[in-house]
Structure 1
Amino acid sequence: MAGRRLLDPAAPALERCVAAEDPKSAVRVFVAARHDVVSGVLCEEAVFSLRHYDDLLEQVLPGTRYLVGENDAARQVRLRQLHTAQGWLDAERGKATTQGEPNMAPGFRSWVAAMAREEAAAILNVLRRRASTGEPVNFVRDYAFLIAWRMARRIIGVPAPDAVPGMVRLMVFARNVMRPGPALRLKDELGDAAAMLLMQQALFGHVFGTVVNSKGWMRWLARKTATPALDAIDAALALPEVAPHDSLVSALAAVKPQFAGVEDYDLQARSVLFELTGALVLIVGKSLSEMAAFACSPEGARAGIGWDRLVSLLADPGASQQAHDATINEALRLTGGSRLTRTVRSDGPWRGVDLQAGDRVVVLIDAASRDPAAFPDPGRFAPDPARPYITSGPLQGPHLCYGRGIAWTILREAIAATQGRIAPVGNAQMALFAGLPDDLPFIASRRQI
């Protein structure tokens, strides 16, 4: 409701949201929704801090940090690790691809795309067998989260933990009791994908879903489920020769001698691997599922983007990479739903609103992505590289999304690969469990086009 009110050009830049405040805390909460205001909050680092995310991580995983955090010396080390590791990978492949923005160079994205096509084809070849049996394909579990996990395994190089945490087993049991249809099994790669997803889910909820304070049970659950994932990363860093040669684990091990003065190199590298693994498994799988669900829905039809058209646009070999990115971002814009939080650094006015140090500002990406001032006819699907997308956070400044090129590439290839292979059943609707996509019924084609 606040988001709708704030889209009025005459509305103030921010509106206080008492309903989001914690009665036990003196922290005030404000909401931002207009596109220009949201962009300002995300990019004006001198006014708005990201320490909120650092503090939340410290509560459950001391020492672990995300790149989505304060731009301090440790974060600069992590960025240098990423850039240096990517340079090593480029040299190993014999291609200079790191010119320009990280992870956006054509050569690097072509490498990711080739892997994504290979993984998508392998999964779809297995799913093709269901064409003769009539068994439905669960797009979410059988495809979206599976390809996200496979790509994380290849690009990052971190294997699934040897043992599935007890809390993850309990979560799967609860899901199987509460959801109809085939049970989710913690075996084979589908089980690995589900386990890694569930080990990240509570932590992402704690860090990115918390405005002031999260519940004690949420912190406990995040600690219990995420710690084994960190242990698996420590094991991978200790034995990098087990990881794929062209993975980030191998690269970070290879470039470690270049960081002789960094005493906590492994700790910072662990944070890098943990963040990127979680982002690929959870965010890419979730986004792929949500894009498919939107394109299958009546809302998608009203917006002018059905599943067949989305697949056709992304499978078009004549379209440029910029056109494909615009299609992905337009689909993400229309699915919406995300929000980010910033903390005010010091007392003072900002765009006519008096703020105090410690105030939280919640930016509503979904509202900003449908702001008529930035997107004429905001409910219509109209991809355009010139549009001011903020679907994956700011696309400029020190906190632009590092992995956006990887994510956009995987999303494009995963959707394009389905052409003639799988398609949604009539009136397909996505089911959720614990706030995440759980089921979206598709059918396999008897013949490949």
Structure 2
Amino acid sequence: MDPADALALLMSPAGRVDPYPTYEKLRAHGPVVPAGPGFYLVTGYAEADAILRDARFGVLDDDLRDQFMPGWRESPAVLSISRSMLRTNPPDHSRMRRLAAGAFTPRRIAAMRDVVVAQADELIDAMLARGRDGTPVDFQAEFAYPLPVGVICALLGVPAADRPLFRRWATDLTGVLEPEITPEELAVADQGAVELRDYFSELVAERRRAPADDLTTALVQAHDSDGARLSGDELLANLVVLLVAGFETTTNLLGNGLVVLLDHPRAAAALREHPEFAPGYVEELLRYDSPVQLTSRMSTAPARHGEVDLPAASWTIVLLGAANRDPRRYPEPGRFDPWRPQVHPLSFGAGPHYCLGAALARLEARVAFPLLLRRLPGLALAGTPERRVRLTLRGYATLPVTVGDVAAPLTDRGTPAGTARATP
């Protein structure tokens, strides 16, 4: 299959739901694949990592958007994302990122562990209350969404009563992150952006009246003390992105990861008995089925990667999900192996745009998976999960499970062979 046909397949509904076979068709053409004039697809781990760290490559800025997306300023969704740190280059990106970074220091993340444990326990209690009689429970709605949204909303200072609002708004808005979007999908994304912006406009006004110990107050004060540090548009755009990025990726990680664990009961049994293995499991889950499958970069100068010369203004789609399964980096990449040594997935990116909340997402997953398996030893799929027809943000729309016999003892099965030699 030639690269153009493979790309068309990847963009199709079937290709988005399961991109991994198409990645291998693209990989057959090399780690950096020319797919059109000035357009390249990156499937190799080393090449993806290098491009994401290469200062000659940046995200689409306003001038480039004017070339590729005429009229983009008329879209509230595109305009909002473009004013955030997600879609700006240094020095603006560095300036905005520094203002939010204080909330995501290692010390602050570590201090949140007890909060995450308490929230996860409460959600499991609620799942038990709904599913004790065998009634299926939607894991996405009852756990994978409310856990990370509760954590990021606590950081931002969003009242608990408002948290249920955000799932639909964020789902709508993030359609704009897909590599292709129809006019109808863009209209939906625009409405989500308007609703999120309206919400945060009110929260900003409230924090001006009554400051609190939260990230929203800190950003409002940075804006009010010196508009050059953070403009009004940037303030609202970054609050929206911090919220959406703060739970969308983790929601997908939790859902994707649970399905993998339930499909690998021996590995799940080991994690149930040894929660200290969680860090290695989470890295392998991120590698095996990444919640973020791609990102894009544009070159500002000629470069060479993967034995391919990339001229200035080359547009590269970095396929993170493909890079995480590069057999040159990970032997037998299609096999889930939580005892795989030296796993460093690119799921959170690399370089200047490395995900600001990566450590928080990892903490939530490291807490959630062992706790779910220990408290719900009979947890099982209840039917076929429904994938979202998205490529950039890969996850489930619904994930029905039964909670099982909560009184069942922990498994007495031993740790799988090999754990002693490569404990995560």
What is the CA deviation profile of residues 301-320 of structure 1, one whole-angstrom value per residue up to 9, with x for unaligned ones? 6xx63x4444444xx2xx3x
- 1:357–1:438 CA distance, 2 compared to 1 (3 A): same
Q: CA deviation at 1:360?
A: 1.9
Measured in 1, the distance between the counterparts of 2:246 and 2:398 equals 19
Deviation string, structure 1 residues 357-389 (Cα, Å, up to 9, x no partner): 433211222221111221123224144673332
Structure 1 unaligned blocks of 5 or more: 19-26, 87-102, 161-187
Aligned with residue 30 of structure 1, among 32, 36, 40: 40
2:363 maps to 1:412: no
Cα distance between partner residues in 2 of 1:219 and 1:236: 26
2:294 to 335, 339, 364: 339
Structure 2 match to 1:290: 256
Counterpart residue type for residue 236 of structure 2: R
Q: Tell me by how many angstroms 1:292 deviates.
A: 0.7
How far apart, in 1, do the equivalents of 2:273 and 2:73 lie? 45
Aligned residue identity for 2:400: P
8 Å CA contact retained: 1:136, 1:441: yes
* C-alpha separation in 2, matches of 1:220 and 1:368: 32
Aligned residues: 372
**Given the alignment of the two structures, is residue 210 of structure 1 paired with residue 179 of structure 2, yes or no?**
yes
- Aligned with residue 362 of structure 1, among 285, 304, 317: 317
| 1:381 match: secondary structure | coil
Mapped to 1, the partners of 2:401 and 2:273 lie a distance apart of 17
Q: Which amino acid aligns with 2:168?
A: L
Deviation at 1:7, TM superposition (A): 4.3
Deviations 1:172-206 (A, max 9, x none): xxxxxxxxxxxxxxxx77xx53x412212233222
- What are the Cα deviations for residues 242-295 of structure 1, in whole angstroms up to 9, with x where unaligned? 9994431133345556x4252754432322221111012322112211111122
Separation in structure 1 between the aligned mates of residue 389 and residue 273 of structure 2, nearest angstrom: 32
Q: 1:382 to 1:217 in 2, by over 3 A?
A: same
Instruction: Establish whether residue 328 from structure 1 lines up as the match of residue 282 from structure 2.
Output: yes
The equivalent of 1:177 in structure 2 is none
1:175-324 to structure 2, matched below 5 A, reads: 192-193=163-164, 195-207=165-177, 209-210=178-179, 214-240=181-207, 245-255=212-222, 259-260=225-226, 262=228, 264-297=230-263, 300=264, 305=267, 307-313=268-274, 316=275, 319=276, 324=278
* Alignment CA distance shift 1:446-1:282 (3 Å): same
**SS state at 2:352 partner:** coil
1:51–1:117 Cα change, 3 Å: same
Distance in 2 (CA, whole Å) between partners of 1:215 and 1:346 is 31
- Asked if the contact 2:84/2:241 (under 8 Å) is kept, the reply is yes
- Out of 65, 79, 84, the position equivalent to 2:97 is 79
Give the whole-Å Cα distance in 1 for the aligned partners of 2:241 and 2:379.
Answer: 32
Does the alignment pair 1:60 with 2:75? yes
1:232 deviation in Å? 0.8
Tell me what 1:437 maps to. 396
Does the CA-based 8 Å contact 1:136-1:443 persist in structure 2?
yes
Q: Distance in 2 between matches of 1:234 and 1:147?
A: 24
Instruction: Verify the 8 A CA contact 1:131 1:446 in the aligned structure 2.
Output: no
Cα separation, 2, equivalents of 1:230 and 1:419: 38
CA offsets per residue over residues 10-42 of structure 1, 9 Å max, x none?
x54422225xxxxxxxx6421111111111221
Quote the residue 1:51 is aligned against: 60
Q: In 2 relative to 1, CA 264–400 (structure 1 residues): closer, same or farther, beyond 3 Å?
A: closer
Which residue does the alignment assign to 1:176?
none
Deviation of residue 70 (structure 1)? 3.2
* CA deviation vs aligned residue, 1:397-421 (integer Å, no higher than 9, x gap): 3222111011111122222322343
Task: Tell me what 1:91 maps to.
Answer: none
What is the TM-score normalised by the length of structure 1?
0.73
- Counterparts of 2:211 and 2:142, CA distance in 1: 24
Could you say if the C-alpha distance between residues 129 and 352 of structure 1 is closer, same or farther in structure 2, counting changes exceeding 3 Å? closer
Please state how far the C-alpha of 1:443 moved relative to its aligned partner.
2.5
What letter is aligned with 2:243? T
1:110 paired residue number: 110
- Name 2:24's counterpart in structure 1: 4
Partners in 2 of 1:361 and 1:104 — Cα distance?
A: 31
TM-score by length of 2: 0.77
SS in 1 for 2:373: coil
| Aligned-pair CA distance for 1:350 | 4.5
Gaps of 5+ in 2: 1-5, 7-21, 410-424
Name the CA distance, whole Å, in 2 between partners of 1:433 and 1:353: 34
